[in-house]
Amino acid sequence: VDVDKCLSNPCPALATCNNTHGSYFCQCPLGYELEKGKCNLVRIFIGQVPLKVNITHGKYTELLHIEGEILAMLDASLSGLPGYHHSTVKATREANVVHVSVQSTFSLASNVTFYDVVSSVKSYIRACKSPTEACQFISSLKPLHRVGSLCKQKDPECDKETSECTDFDGVALCQCKSGYFKYNKMDHSCR
């Protein structure tokens, strides 16, 4: 009989417990990463791009191959930046468009900016010398990362009356509206 291990609350604060057969795993919310038994704040850069059907043929018909190719490109272009942890890629097919979503994670202390991430990806794409098909495929990924997409994915539930979500280089914070202030940088509401 499978006993729900999550009932004993084994996960750290902020994390969600997911019961699996015979075990469990803890998952931190977007913008946090499980490190040394707790959910730590990280810089996370989110990107989404639709790929047209004319570049998802040949060896790019398989979603797994598309994901692998994009992950390799992100690792190669971002690993030179300070504090780079990893990226994740998810591709889904809808009619004749493949939607690609990526998340690139950096340590909070890295001070990597949105501009650094975009520049690294674009210069990697510009330097492409692989066979034409591969370069054509990755050049379609130029508009991958977009400013403000973190707030769209992970609104830290800012108090809508006194503040609004702002994406500060990979960290979603609640920014006070004019005439309001907050005691703590991480507060979700202002006074």
Using 50, 70 and 90 to split pLDDT, how confident is the model at 130? confident
For residue 56, pLDDT over 60 is answered with no
Q: What is the pLDDT of residues 69-106, one digit of tens each?
A: 899 999 999 999 999 999 999 999 888 788 889 999 99
What integer pLDDT is reported at residue 76 of this predicted model?
93
Phi, psi of 158 (to 5 degrees): -70, 145
pLDDT of residue 95: 80
Domain boundaries, the chain: 1-41, 43-140, 149-190
Instruction: Provide CB contacts within 8 A for 87, sequence distance 6+.
Output: 71, 74, 75, 78, 102, 103, 104, 105
What single DSSP character describes residue 73?
A: H
Average predicted confidence (pLDDT) for the chain: 86
The pLDDT value given to residue 63: 84
Q: In 62-168, which ranges are E strands? A: 84-94, 97-107, 163-168
Neighbours of 175 (CB within 10 A): 15
Each residue's pLDDT tens digit, 13-41: 889 999 988 888 999 988 899 988 899 99
> pLDDT at residue 57 above 90?
no
Compute φ and ψ for 92, nearest 5 degrees. Answer: -130, 145
Residue 79 three-state SS: coil
Considering only CA atoms, give the Rg of the chain: 19
pLDDT at 128: 86
Mean pLDDT of 128-134: 80
Q: Which CATH class is domain 43-140?
A: alpha beta
CA–CA dist 144, 164 (Å, integer): 24
CB 188, CB 162: distance < 8 Å: no
Q: What is the CATH number of domain 1-41?
A: 2.10.25.10
Q: Is the dihedral of CA 113, 148, 85, 26 positive or negative?
A: positive
In 3-state terms, what secondary structure has residue 46? strand
Per-residue pLDDT at 177 exceeds 90: yes
Nearest to 44 by CA among 83, 14, 70: 83
pLDDT tens-digit series, residues 144-160: 776 667 887 766 678 88
Stated pTM of the model? 0.83
Contact partners, residue 127, CB within 8 Å, separation at least 6? none
